[in-house]
Amino acid sequence: MKSTLIFTTALASFAVLAQAQTATPGAAPRVAADQIATKKGSLTVQPITHGSVVLTWNGKTIYVDPYGGAESYAGLAAPDVILITDIHGDHMDLKTLAGLSVDKALVVVPKAVAEKLPAAYKTQVRILNNGQQLDTLGMTVSAIPMYNLPEAADAPHTKGRGNGYVLGLGGKNVYLSGDTEDIAEMRALKGIDVAFVCMNLPYTMDVNQAAQAVLAFKPGIVYPYHYRGQNGLSDVDSFKKTVNTANKKIDVRLRNWYAAPK
């Protein structure tokens, strides 16, 4: 009887892990989700690909920059909130949006994105400009600048066009960098519990810039994401080493954001 119980428990655990990694049959491979405690239950962090992540908290599901095809989201709950950071196709992916069940979602975007979204989404859109904040569904959403340095009119990301975001979820502050360099506004962040930080040349910043920015604002947990550039994937192991050599308290979590070709 005891051995049967142990076998049954192990089999159930394997089934849960397999579901987290592969979602549903035929769906793109997906790494296991993380659970982070908050004052209102767990925050589930599900990496999708590149700059896209799904957050689930307090019964609500948040899609960040849905990208890479609707099949990447198979088996996940439909979004209550969609955050889009920029107009580029790896952030505002209209084909992926069209394949998802987003009819009931609040779509939070900067003005530049709102102007490019199809008319079908207009009634769902809430525009946030840099420095603005929205309180909705028990959470706060604050728009943070994201841009390239030096500032120039022909930069891939100009100041004010796109948004990074800070989410307030059950006493935890979650920062999503979007496409940015090592800007003063990021270094000045305070009280960030979880951070998603980009690092891909020539569009954002290199690994060392990202590490120095993280060492400046000291998040409790940091996920390197959006780390595919013109020359392949950035060296996230080097990022982790640089951060933890200087500050061992920062929990650098390396996850495979490129489990399937996109």
Q: Are 202 and 174 in contact (CB under 8 A)?
A: no
Q: What is the pLDDT of residues 214-237, one digit of tens each?
A: 999 999 999 999 999 888 999 999
Residue 248, SS3 per DSSP: coil
DSSP 8-class letter at 157: S
The upper half-sphere exposure of residue 233, i.e. CA atoms within 13 Å in the direction of its Cβ, equals 16
Q: Are 158 and 138 in contact (CB under 8 A)?
A: no
Q: Are 59 and 170 in contact (CB under 8 A)?
A: no
Q: What is the pLDDT of residues 121-163, one digit of tens each?
A: 999 999 999 999 999 999 999 999 999 888 878 778 899 999 9
Residue 4: per-residue pLDDT: 42
Q: What is the pLDDT of residues 60-102, one digit of tens each?
A: 999 999 999 999 999 999 999 999 999 998 999 999 999 999 9
Q: Is the overall model pTM greater than 0.85, yes or no?
A: yes
Cα angle 92-232-251, degrees, rounded to a multiple of 5: 80
Integer Cα distance of 226 and 197 in angstroms = 7
* Element (DSSP H or E) covering residue 107: strand 106-109
Q: Which amino acid is present at 148?
A: N
Query: Which residue has better confidence, 58 or 23?
Result: 58
